[in-house]
Structure 1
Amino acid sequence: MKRHIPNFLTLLNLLCGSIAVIYVVNNNFVVASLFVFLGIFFDFFDGFAARKLNVQSELGIQLDSLADLVTSGLVPGLVMFKLLSISTNTSEIINEWSSYTEWTGFKLPILPLLGLLITLASAYRLAKFNIDEDQQDYFKGLPTPANTLLIISLPLIIEFHNSSLIDSILLNKWFLIGITFLSCYLLNSSVKLMALKFKNWSLKNNTFRYVLIMVSFLLLMVFKFIAIPVIILVYILLSLLNQSFIVK
């Protein structure tokens, strides 16, 4: 029975991602974000449960990636598609973000489709991860959940920070295109980033992980959703420092 627990958690991740897709399609980014956060929570604990129960399996690995492709691949791609779609009418919605709640007709503009490159890059990264036996203690490139948090933070910043300056930046199509290509690069880069898996709780072996947790907590308390992109940057920088210490 216990061997099914991690897979059940993985399926909950997939369910949350699927529900998030529905809300993104209907332009409800806040509720979609809640389900993304919940999905990432299940994604973290399915692996944790598998290790603790000693029931890791090839099926679980494949199922985990399939679930991640939805929650941390399709959802951020759709969010970027929506943001790029909105950016074509930025002047109309900067002062009334909440007014953009439904479509008055269906069109498929070309430029916003660039957002789906994030989905493609996520799928490619997940496929590489599944066949790469080296990524046990570290990640090559930005993990898909971290990338999803980066993308999903953009509409949350617009929604909750009420700044016309921030809105004008985040809803600029060139900024969004730049973030899209940066996201695709980070997902599939060869940069080694530390995994947030604790094999033990010692300070010596987890110094940079503890620093990341504390810095992240402080940044979220002070800057709220604006902190998320900063936390991703801090994660990358701490990972590079961690690698330099390992090399030494």
Structure 2
Amino acid sequence: MKRFIPNTFTMMNLLSGLLALISIFNGFYDHAFLFVCLGIFFDFWDGFLARKLNVSSELGVQLDSLADMVTSGVVPGLMMFKLLENIQLNDSNYMVTEETAYMGFVPYLGFIVTLASCYRLAKFNIDTRQTESFIGLPTPANTLLLMSIPMIQYVDSYEWLLEALNNPYILVVIILVSAYLLNAEIPLFSLKFKKLDWENAKTQIIFLVYSSILLFVLAFTAIPVIIFSYIIFSLILNTTSKK
């Protein structure tokens, strides 16, 4: 029976992703964000439980990637599609003519994230260098980065940021940067706890405390700051370890 516990967590990750998709289709982006967070929570613990219970298996590895493909691949791609589509629908100056017909394809650029996530997940499964750490931004972290965009729009204190995130050109740049970071040859420390003790998890614990403080101070705006801090911290650790 122990073998089914981590796989059940993986299935809950997949279910959370499906509920997030439904929420996006219905325009409930805040619900979608919560379901993605729930899915990432299940994804965080399924591997830990598999190791703790000593029931790691090839089936679990494949299930994990398939669930991540939905929650951290299809969901953020659809979110970027809808954000770009909404900008066009809300633009009173936008009219479909022969000259602007090509603009109707812009929202579909959001699915570049889905394609890049699929490639990253497939590469992760066969890359023996990523057993203890990551190379390239993990798909859950990238998903949080993109799913935070509509949540930041609820924060009225940053009007300049709201204007920027409602600019289709900026969103397309974010999509392209996101796709690059997913598959970039950048070593990043693992965010998953191998063991729950200070000696083996001090980096993760320090980063978790840092992230919690930022979330308390900046709310949803902290998420992109946390993601890019994660990359910067990893680069510093890489330089230190080489020395």
Q: What is the TM-score when the length of structure 1 is the normalising length?
A: 0.89
Superimposed CA distance per residue, residues 108-167 of structure 1 (whole angstroms, 9 cap, x where no aligned partner): 931000000000000000000011111011101000000000000000000244644222
Aligned position for 1:104: none
Q: Which letter does structure 1 place at the counterpart of 2:182? A: L
Q: What secondary structure does 2:188 align onto? A: strand
Aligned positions of 1:24-173 closer than 5 A: 24-89=24-89, 109-161=104-156, 163-173=158-168
Equivalenced residue count is: 233
**How many angstroms apart in 1 are the aligned matches of 2:57 and 2:156?**
43
Contact 2:116-2:179 at 8 Å conserved across structures: yes
Q: Which letter does structure 1 place at the counterpart of 2:226? A: I
Contact 1:208-1:242 at 8 Å conserved across structures: no
Contact 1:144-1:187 at 8 Å conserved across structures: yes
Aligned residues: percent identity? 52
Report the alpha carbon displacement of residue 245 of structure 1 after superposing the two structures with TM.
2.1
**How many angstroms apart in 2 are the aligned matches of 1:10 and 1:167?**
35
**How many angstroms apart in 2 are the aligned matches of 1:55 and 1:112?**
42
Q: Which letter does structure 2 place at the counterpart of 1:236? A: I
The answer for unaligned runs of 5 or more in structure 2 is 93-102
**How many angstroms apart in 2 are the aligned matches of 1:38 and 1:64?**
15
**How many angstroms apart in 1 are the aligned matches of 2:56 and 2:199?**
27
- Compute the RMSD of aligned alpha carbons: 1.6
State whether structure 2 residue 1 is matched by structure 1 residue 10: no
**How many angstroms apart in 2 are the aligned matches of 1:168 and 1:205?**
43
**How many angstroms apart in 2 are the aligned matches of 1:215 and 1:229?**
13
**How many angstroms apart in 2 are the aligned matches of 1:174 and 1:64?**
34
The answer for unaligned runs of 5 or more in structure 1 is 93-107
Q: What secondary structure does 1:180 align onto? A: helix
Q: What secondary structure does 1:88 align onto? A: helix
Q: What is the TM-score when the length of structure 2 is the normalising length?
A: 0.91
Q: What secondary structure does 1:139 align onto? A: strand
Contact 2:6-2:49 at 8 Å conserved across structures: yes
Contact 2:33-2:147 at 8 Å conserved across structures: yes
Report the alpha carbon displacement of residue 247 of structure 1 after superposing the two structures with TM.
1.6
Given the superposition, is the C-alpha separation of residues 137 and 54 from structure 1 closer, same or farther in structure 2, using an over 3 Å criterion? same
Superimposed CA distance per residue, residues 7-26 of structure 1 (whole angstroms, 9 cap, x where no aligned partner): 11100000010010011111
Report the alpha carbon displacement of residue 203 of structure 1 after superposing the two structures with TM.
4.2
Q: What secondary structure does 2:125 align onto? A: helix
Q: What secondary structure does 2:137 align onto? A: coil
Q: What secondary structure does 1:159 align onto? A: coil
State whether structure 2 residue 182 is matched by structure 1 residue 191: no
Report the alpha carbon displacement of residue 211 of structure 1 after superposing the two structures with TM.
2.6
